[in-house]
Structure 1
């Protein structure tokens, strides 16, 4: 099978962020398939051009047997109109791809939706080559813009995006969703329930070191490692840090994103001495970084969009590190609670977050270690991407067979 996988923000392990598609593609390659990941050369996390230094429009690179076609797109900072133009430019370049650009016609095209334009371009590409199209739903667009971005449901831009969304659901041979409860929403928007498959985010077991208990420190370290964006609601971490200013806690916020400058300024105004901001690290270095923590913070804003569940890469990295997780997300689908791997508190509640930190500190190291090991076992059993690749392979083969 020759698979073209379109994901605007796909990255390599040497970059900071999620490597879901690299891991799944590597497993498919080991099973004899050819996979080309089509992505932007402009790194979404660092806001830097990483893959085409000579100014060329594109570049083909092979990593562990996985082919990456990097497409040059315009730079941007923050959530500006230039970022919107970057997404449109990427979609236009995907539309212009020819079979000879990648050494032959695809058998299946998979389009991922960190935004709808990339998935729409992938569907058009599949239609042009007369091959099956498989849609991967990462976030529910445009619902997220309504619930998190304060757009009106009747806004012309939202209605236009919803038309694109409905069209993608109708035309996809199969719909892969990362969110465990999103099938209901997709069916309401025209997706065939029999074609919806759940393949969540997870861990790359081949690159995972064995679990080790944390080294004792003077302060109990609570770490957040991930995007500093609108949906994350990281202000609550700073508010909890302020409440624990005179206790033995240290808050580490690792990563980058459009909201980081505001958060850094906020921490300075609050005169926080127990909270530090650190730059993002490559995915390959995440396991070593996470070992330094005593516990992790999984926080999101209080929004109805999370009623269909969440599947952030960082959560499964946290649990794989065998440390307790404070889960501050209002969702009925809670992996931390299911695994018995931490403490659950309401979203955007700084008092509850601080109390959860105190509760963890009051536990014995052995109790926290057992809690962390339960999380490790849970992700090994349920979120191992090396195993989930078999589910993806079955979806792709079924799409191909039913052509």
Structure 2
């Protein structure tokens, strides 16, 4: 009987909808290696703000999706980050626990944050089933609530989450981090066996048969404009107001020459649209399914990524969209700070400016616009080389499979 692996992430997606698909791709690879894989995720899609599979009063829905057993679980809806978000998280945990008790016992459970309560629930299920437990750290909770959400370190919520966080670091059989800068962070809080398995793209998806000129025509982007793109969430952490204000600085002189496209959705999108009224060189677009993103990126001449200016983002992020940009073989402009900025500088992949500084971002956009195509191409080639050597999803999946097989071998010895 093949070894059974559960992957639990409230916000996991399939490629036919917007959002990250790390759990799908990890599951696909493990399935190809003859593991039996089940994924547990919320059916309430945050980007689309709707249920996709569940009918009224339905608790969960299970389907076979590309050789994966995908469990879509009920969680209460919410539209903005208020108290309803916490009810949404708690309801997902309740559904997960009940459904997890009814399933055949797994050999390994991978609980993926940022949802610490769901990860804690996954750990409880691992204890009940006698399974190995891996804690995948996507975001550092509750630190992000303190630095980004303004929560007091002494608040009951933060102290409770910090207790759960330390328990998970200490009790997990393995801790997987996506950002290399968080290795020391988790070790100081009790983690012993830590693996760096960053975000990264499936490079085969970026072998496009469409030229940039054809992509611009397909996506209605003027062929004579220099197009920069941002794709992803429109939330507080993303600091997209920095891009809006940088475009305002450039708009009078470069409208019609430079076009910046913000593709995606999130709680801040409508406010950003209001803020950007009258700016001609900036355009908002609705999200696309993840599987279409590589083709859409072909229409860009380069990319922008911004984040809030908080210390956590200096070392604790692994932006999946950034590695998609690298794989698209185009230059990047990063306004993140810390490790991300340093990587772009040291590998000469584009421009790196301080976060939340519209003036510096506008200068970088203008410098990009004035850079000759040959130099831009060289930056893109270096980015593609970096993603092939370091961030390839295939390499990451192979490393995870090797770790899992090591533990499965230990289980088999124990059974014999």
TM-score normalized by structure 2?
0.92
How far apart, in 1, do the equivalents of 2:199 and 2:169 lie? 21
1:3-402 to structure 2, matched below 5 A, reads 3-53=5-55, 55-98=57-100, 101-102=102-103, 104-192=104-192, 195-210=193-208, 214-215=212-213, 217-245=223-251, 246-247=253-254, 248-268=257-277, 271-333=278-340, 334-402=342-410
How far apart, in 1, do the equivalents of 2:131 and 2:99 lie? 15
How far apart, in 2, do the equivalents of 1:351 and 1:212 lie? 35
**How far 1:377 sits from its partner (Å)?**
1.9
How far apart, in 2, do the equivalents of 1:213 and 1:372 lie? 15
How far apart, in 2, do the equivalents of 1:332 and 1:284 lie? 28
3-state secondary structure, aligned to 1:60 = strand
3-state secondary structure, aligned to 1:302 = coil
**How far 1:274 sits from its partner (Å)?**
1.4
Residues paired across the two proteins, number: 397
3-state secondary structure, aligned to 1:35 = strand
3-state secondary structure, aligned to 1:59 = strand
3-state secondary structure, aligned to 1:96 = helix
Q: Is the 8 A contact 2:110 2:135 kept in 1?
A: yes
How far apart, in 1, do the equivalents of 2:333 and 2:11 lie? 28
Q: Is the 8 A contact 1:174 1:395 kept in 2?
A: no
Q: Is the 8 A contact 1:39 1:70 kept in 2?
A: yes
**How far 1:400 sits from its partner (Å)?**
3.9
Q: Is the 8 A contact 1:134 1:399 kept in 2?
A: no
Q: Is the 8 A contact 1:309 1:331 kept in 2?
A: no
Give deviations 1:276-335, integer Å, cap 9, x for gaps.
111110001101111111111011111100232421111111111111100111113544
**How far 1:401 sits from its partner (Å)?**
4.4
Q: Is the 8 A contact 1:132 1:400 kept in 2?
A: no
**How far 1:171 sits from its partner (Å)?**
0.6
Give deviations 1:183-214, integer Å, cap 9, x for gaps.
1111121212xx00000111012322248774
**How far 1:374 sits from its partner (Å)?**
1.4
Change over 3 Å in CA distance of 1:401–1:172 after alignment to 2 = farther
Moved more, 3-12 or 217-226: 217-226
Q: Is the 8 A contact 2:135 2:172 kept in 1?
A: yes
Give deviations 1:51-104, integer Å, cap 9, x for gaps.
2246421111112211111112111101121121111111111111245x44x2
3-state secondary structure, aligned to 2:93 = helix
Q: Is the 8 A contact 2:59 2:95 kept in 1?
A: no
Higher RCO (C-alpha 8 Å, min separation 6):
1
3-state secondary structure, aligned to 2:40 = strand
Give deviations 1:252-285, integer Å, cap 9, x for gaps.
11000111111111112xx212111111100011
Moved more, 131-140 or 327-336: 327-336
Q: Is the 8 A contact 1:135 1:174 kept in 2?
A: yes
How far apart, in 2, do the equivalents of 1:179 and 1:212 lie? 32
Q: Is the 8 A contact 2:9 2:118 kept in 1?
A: yes
How far apart, in 2, do the equivalents of 1:142 and 1:302 lie? 17
**How far 1:22 sits from its partner (Å)?**
0.6
TM-score normalized by structure 1?
0.95
| Aligned alpha-carbon RMSD (Å) | 1.6
Give ranges in structure 1 of 5+ residues lacking alignment: none
Q: Is the 8 A contact 2:43 2:52 kept in 1?
A: yes
Give deviations 1:94-139, integer Å, cap 9, x for gaps.
111245x44x210011100121011001000000111111100000
**How far 1:358 sits from its partner (Å)?**
1.2
3-state secondary structure, aligned to 1:301 = coil
